[in-house]
């Protein structure tokens, strides 16, 4: 299963990637929202994990664009973010996110969410 992770924090992205690879996923990484959209169009992942606060295109903007794209609209999107207010979660749902996981988070919880969405 192909999982695309987009986060501008390299260290966090690498930690998440490592946990997912150990769990048997094929992992692709993007450093911002625009890269995530471009890569998704190229690789057609099974699940996309997006940070909300990223340069060039936020995770919310990337999510909305992915959900509006005919070939990508059915791909589950997990927002992984430090933004934990109810209003933030509503914005995530409004953008089309399928799941919303707040930092700090358990890698096992993220893996369980990814598996449940595939």
Strand, coil or helix: what is 2? strand
Q: Tell me: the pLDDT tens digits for 28-55?
A: 999 999 999 999 999 999 999 999 999 9
What's the whole-number mean pLDDT along residues 80-91?
Answer: 82
Q: Following DSSP, what letter does each residue of 71-82 receive, concatenated?
A: TTTTS-EEEEES
What's the whole-number mean pLDDT along residues 56-83?
Answer: 94
* C-alpha separations of 28 from 31, 48, 53, 78, 109 in Å: 10, 9, 19, 15, 19
C-alpha 12 chain-centroid distance: 13
- Which domain CATH number covers 105? 3.40.50.2300
Into how many domains does the chain fold?
1
Give residue 9's domain range: 2-117
For residue 7, pLDDT over 90 is answered with: yes
* DSSP one-letter code for 99: E
Strand, coil or helix: what is 31? coil
Strands (E), the chain: 2-6, 26-30, 47-50, 77-81, 99-102
Tell the burial category of 94 from Cβ atoms under 10 Å away from its Cβ (0-12, 13-18, 19+). exposed
* C-alpha separations of 20 from 1, 5, 67, 114 in Å: 10, 10, 23, 9
């Amino acid at each position: 299963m192909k999982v695309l992770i987009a986060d501008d924090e390299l260290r966090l992205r690498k930690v998440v990637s490592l946990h997912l690879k150990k769990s048997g996923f094929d992992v692709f990484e993007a450093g911002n929202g625009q890269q995530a959209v471009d890569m998704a169009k190229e690789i057609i992942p099974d699940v996309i994990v997006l940070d909300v606060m990223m340069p060039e295109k936020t995770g919310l903007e990337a999510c909305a664009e992915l959900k509006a794209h005919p070939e990508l609209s059915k791909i589950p999107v997990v927002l992984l973010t430090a933004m934990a207010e109810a209003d933030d979660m509503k914005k995530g749902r409004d953008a089309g996110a399928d799941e919303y996981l707040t930092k700090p988070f358990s890698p096992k919880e993220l893996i369980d969410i990814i598996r449940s969405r595939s």
